[in-house]
Structure formats: C-alpha cells, structure tokens
C-alpha cells in the first residue's frame, strides 16, 4: 500500500543528539520530522498527517504519557513507539497498555529500531486493510464478474480499459440496475490503485446533516455527540478510489465543498484546521439526467464538468438485448455455484420471451428473476410454464386491436401448452381440443416455432 508515498515519522526528543541519530538512521527510507519538545510536537501533529511517532517518555514541557493519550485520541491510526531509559521501563509498559505500539530502550540498536518501525507500519497497514475488507465483505457476492457480449457493452469494456490508468474523474450514467456500481468497481480493479481502497459514498443513503462528516471526518468534540475522532471516507480512500453513488442527491452546498476537494486534493476534518492531503480518484454515478438538474439549479455545472472528464453511459438492457442470454447464463451459473445444485438452463422459448422482454429494472430485475426461477423450478430446464408462474414475458395488451390481442393470447397459450408437453403436437392438439392440422396451421399463422 505504501508504494507511492514514504511513511512519515515524527521523532520527539529533547536531546539533540538522539534526534540527530534517529534522523540519520531513518531518513533514507522515511520522511522524518523532528521535534525537541512536546508543544513543538503538538504543533507538527496539528498540521501534518504522521504515520509513526517516536516519543521520548521524559519531555521537558509535556508528560510523554499525556502526549501519547492525545495522539491516540486524535488519530487512533497513528502508531506511537515510546523511547525510554532503562529506569523508566515501568512507565513504558504502562504506555503500551494505553495504546503505544512498542518501546525502544536508549541507547538503541539501529537494527532494532528499523525492525520495530517496519512492524508498526505493517500493523497500521493491516488495520486499515481489515477495516476496508470488512466493508467489502458486506458487499461480496453482489459484485462479482461483469459480463456482456453486446457490441454496446464491449465498447464500454474497451472504454474502461482505456481510462483506468488516468486519474481523471469518471461520471457513470444509466438507468437504475444497469450496472453502474459494477462498472465503477471495474475501473478501480483494473487501475494501478487496485490494491488500495475502493470507498463507496452513497449520497442517497447518508442523511444530509451527516454528509460533511462522512466525507471529511471530524475530530472529537467537533459537534455535540462527536465523542471520538472519526476518519472521513475521503481520507480512507487515500491512494485509492472514491465512488460517489447517486451524486445527484448531494446538496448544492456540499457540491461546492466537494468541488473544492477535487480541485485542491486537500481538506480538513470537521472541527480541525489541520490540512489533510488525500490522493483520490473520483468516480460518480447517477441515474438522473444531470444537465436537466443543472437547468433547474439543483446541480452545479462546474462540478458536472469536473466529474465528467470521462463520461460512461450504460444503455438500458432493452437497448443491448445481445447481453440478455449471457446474463441469464451467468446468473444461472452463479446460482448453481452458491446453492450446490446442478446448473439449470432455459428452454429456447423461454429464452426468446426473456430476450424480447423490456426489463424496466434492467440487470437487477433479470438477476432477481433468475434467482427466483432457479430456486422454484424443479426440472433441469426452465420453460415457459415456469415463467408464467411469475407472470413474466406477457406484454401489456391494452394498446392492441382486439384481433392482435386475441392473436397474442392465442400465440402465448398454444406455446405454453406445447411447452408443457415437450412439443408433442399430438398431445397438444388433444389438450387444446382441436384437430392436429388446425394446430399446425395456427402455428404457421402465428409464427410459433415448431421445436
Ligand atoms: N454486466 C453485468 N454483469 C454481471 N452482473 C451485472 C452486470 N450489470 C449489473 N449486474 C448486477 O446487477 C445488479 C445491479 O447492478 P448495480 O448495482 O451496479 O446497478 P446500478 O446501476 O448501480 O443501479 P442503481 O442505480 O439502482 O444503484 C448488481 O447485482 C450487479 O452485480
Ligand atoms: Mg448503484
């Protein structure tokens, strides 16, 4: 995780010689800051983000233990390593109970110091990753592979490949359920940021009053109820990607604040004036027409242009029907894997109906339908009859002439019966109570396929 930026280490010690020797040992691998007193250290900490503090227990002005406590309160992710003389070991042990990572005894061995620091950084990285993975786990299963074979989708895949290594913002637009979040994840997963966090900020779900703290974080006491320092999503997304979902739901005044962060790449936690620099790539999604919202004064035009560096428009499923069969197969496969049951398939007639259906809920609707069908169908092949139990595939007939409506009904009914008897025309004509030849001619007239 630490490939882009050197970790920052703050050395706090009143002895100049000690500061200098730490500096000498550390400066090749780390960015080193030096403070000769507790108050100087506080000054540095209020302005800079520090990964590790090497803290002398005996300081002239502030008790090292008090400083440890306030560092941990401000940012629990900062690791503190106490530096102590042999006679103060009891205090060092107490410091560890209070959250210090380790202690180093003066005079120190260079190798020991380097090992402890790299272990502390490793731990810090793990803690950050665990928090991130927990969040990811909640979403696991919902977001697996992205599939598609329609020309329009293949173009989107190509577009994703071509923009993934730029740092320019991406605005993903499309109806609900078309796969905007999946595309956002694909952009992140194919980029050089992939080993760093992908942080989702759901602008529709976060209450407006909490949005600012959610994005930027806040310090303890920033407002009533702020009992702890909380790190904001944009800070968590450092070196990774922030995905602003349903960006149209962001209030106009927050839009202005967000714009500033995108431009300056820095912000402050609520209640603090310490500037936090965060290297974030921004992705945003919306199922609204943003230019319309701009007209109405609900969306800032400047933010729109900032986000729309790379526009991706995902067409609704009904405009890329070529994807329907592969999506159906994909979700059947997923169901089989998850349930441990044999993989089902669709009959040709069922496939035809599903490919013609308009899918107002797009891929999400299709995914839910496959899930339900695969669960309730006992047979290996899912046919028209099974679709009918869910009343899918019947087009609304209110806009048709009576003749067309009757034909549509007859076509559907005959197809259902044929499907239920494995396309035996003999059995179907018996069930329908018509002569076999009548059935055959109706099938020709109504263009019902004979398989
Ligand atoms: N091309 C695809 N391949 C595989 N799964 C897909 C594809 N497109 C969408 N899905 C699945 O469909 C569901 C809906 O996708 P997603 O949540 O990304 O849609 P969305 O556009 O963000 O919807 P909304 O606007 O409602 O938030 C998800 O479970 C996703 O995994
Ligand atoms: Mg979404």
Interval 329-360: pLDDT, tens: 999 999 998 888 889 999 998 898 899 888 98
Is residue 181 lining ligand 1, measured as CB closer than 6 Å? yes
pLDDT for res 25: 92
pLDDT by residue (tens digit) across 207-226? 888 999 999 999 988 888 88
pLDDT of residue 79: 95
Choosing from 143, 177, 337 the residue with most ligand 1 atoms within 8 A of its CB, the one to mutate for a pocket test is: 177
**pLDDT of the residue at 384:** 81
Name which residue sits closest to atom 9 of ligand 1, judged by CA: 179
The pLDDT, as a whole number, for residue 445 is 87
Residue 363 pLDDT: 96
Q: How far is the CA of 363 from the centre of ligand 1 (A)?
A: 6
Pairwise CA distance, residues 299 & 365, whole Å: 29
pLDDT at position 376 is 81
- CA of 117 from ligand 2 middle (Å) equals 41
* pLDDT in the model for residue 2: 39
- Give the residue, by CA position, lying nearest to ligand 1 atom 26: 176
Tokens 């048709």 locate to 400
Question: Given this model, what pLDDT does residue 397 score?
Answer: 47
Report whether residue 288 contacts ligand 1, using a CB cutoff of 6 Å.
no
Domain residue limits, the chain: 8-130, 141-315, 319-445
- Alpha carbons 26 and 5: distance in angstroms, whole number: 15
Q: Which ligand is nearest to the CA of 245?
A: 2
Residue 304: count of CB within 10 angstroms of its CB:
19
The verdict on the CB of residue 180 being under 6 Å from ligand 1 is yes
Q: What's the CA-to-centroid distance between 143 and ligand 1, angstroms? A: 8
For residue 326 and ligand 1, the question of a CB distance below 6 A is answered with no
Nearest-CA neighbor of 244 among 293, 195, 186, 204?
204
Q: Which of 181, 313, 321, 334 best tests ligand 1's pocket when mutated (most atoms within 8 Å of CB)? A: 181
* Ranges of H-type helices in 194-251: 211-216, 233-236
Q: What pLDDT was estimated at residue 3?
A: 43
Amino acid 85: pLDDT: 84
Distance 202 CA to ligand 2 centre (A): 9
Pick the ligand that lies closest to the CA of residue 360: 1
Task: Pick the residue whose CA is nearest to atom 10 on ligand 1.
Answer: 179
Our answer on whether the CB atom of 178 is closer than 6 Å to any ligand 1 atom is yes
The list of the chain residues with pLDDT below 70 reads: 1-5, 135-144, 388-400, 451
Per-residue model confidence (pLDDT) at position 271: 93
**Cβ–ligand 1 contact at 232 (below 6 Å):** no
The second-level CATH assignment, the architecture, of 141-315 is 3-Layer(aba) Sandwich (3.40)
What confidence tens digit (pLDDT) does each residue in 376-416 have? 888 899 988 788 665 554 555 455 677 777 777 788 888 88
Each as own residue / partner, the long-range contacts of residues 206-209 (CB below 8 Å, 24 or more positions apart, any chain) are 208/251, 208/254
- Give 341 Cα–ligand 2 centroid separation in angstroms: 29
- Distance in angstroms (rounded) separating the CA atoms of residues 443 and 430: 15
- Ligand showing the shortest atom-to-Cα distance for residue 362: 1
Question: Any idea which fold 319-445 has?
Answer: Helicase, Ruva Protein; domain 3 (1.10.8)
Same fold, 8-130 and 141-315: yes
Query: What is the CATH code for 8-130?
Result: 3.40.50.2300
Taking the C-alpha atoms of 254, 255, 260 and 266 in order, what is their torsion angle to the nearest 10 degrees?
A: 50
């Amino acid at each position: 995780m630490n490939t882009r930026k050197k970790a920052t280490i703050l050395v706090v010690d009143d002895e100049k010689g000690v500061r200098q020797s730490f500096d000498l040992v550390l400066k090749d691998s780390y960015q080193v800051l030096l403070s000769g007193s507790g108050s100087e250290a506080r000054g540095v900490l209020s302005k800079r983000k520090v990964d590790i503090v090497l803290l002398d227990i005996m300081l002239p002005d502030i008790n090292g233990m008090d400083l440890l406590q306030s560092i941990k309160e401000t940012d629990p992710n900062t690791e503190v390593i106490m530096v102590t003389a042999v006679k103060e070991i009891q205090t060092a042990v107490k410091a560890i109970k209070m959250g210090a990572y380790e202690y180093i005894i003066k005079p120190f061995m260079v190798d020991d110091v380097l090992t402890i620091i790299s272990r502390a950084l490793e731990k810090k990285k793990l803690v950050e990753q665990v928090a991130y993975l927990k969040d990811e786990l909640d979403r696991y299963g919902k977001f697996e592979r992205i599939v598609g074979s329609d020309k329009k989708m293949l173009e989107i895949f190509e577009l994703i490949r071509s923009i993934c290594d730029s740092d320019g913002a991406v605005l993903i637009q499309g109806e609900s359920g078309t796969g905007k979040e999946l595309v956002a994840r694909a952009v992140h997963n194919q980029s050089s940021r992939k080993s760093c966090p992908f942080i989702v900020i759901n602008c529709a779900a976060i209450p407006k009053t909490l949005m600012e703290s959610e994005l930027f974080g806040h310090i303890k006491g920033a407002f009533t109820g702020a009992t702890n320092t909380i790190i904001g999503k944009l800070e968590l997304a450092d070196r990774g990607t922030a995905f602003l979902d349903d960006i149209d739901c962001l209030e106009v005044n927050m839009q202005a604040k967000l714009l500033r962060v995108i431009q300056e790449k820095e912000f402050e936690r609520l209640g603090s004036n310490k500037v936090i620099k965060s290297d974030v790539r921004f992705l945003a999604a919306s199922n609204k027409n943003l230019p319309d919202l701009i007209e109405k004064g609900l969306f800032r035009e400047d933010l729109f242009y900032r986000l729309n560096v790379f526009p991706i428009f995902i067409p609704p499923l009904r405009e890329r029907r070529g994807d329907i069969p592969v999506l159906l197969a994909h979700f059947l496969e997923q169901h089989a894997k998850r349930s441990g049951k044999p993989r089902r398939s669709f009959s040709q007639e069922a496939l035809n109906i599903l490919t013609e259906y308009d899918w107002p809920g797009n891929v999400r609707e299709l995914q839910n339908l496959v899930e339900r069908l695969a669960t309730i169908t006992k047979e290996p092949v899912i046919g028209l009859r099974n679709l009918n139990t869910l009343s899918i595939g019947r087009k609304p007939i209110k806009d048709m002439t009576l003749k067309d409506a009757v034909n549509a009904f007859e076509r559907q009914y005959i197809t259902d019966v044929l499907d239920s008897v494995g396309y035996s025309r003999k059995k179907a004509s018996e069930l329908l109570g018509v002569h076999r030849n009548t059935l055959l001619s109706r099938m020709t007239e109504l263009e019902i396929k004979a398989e």
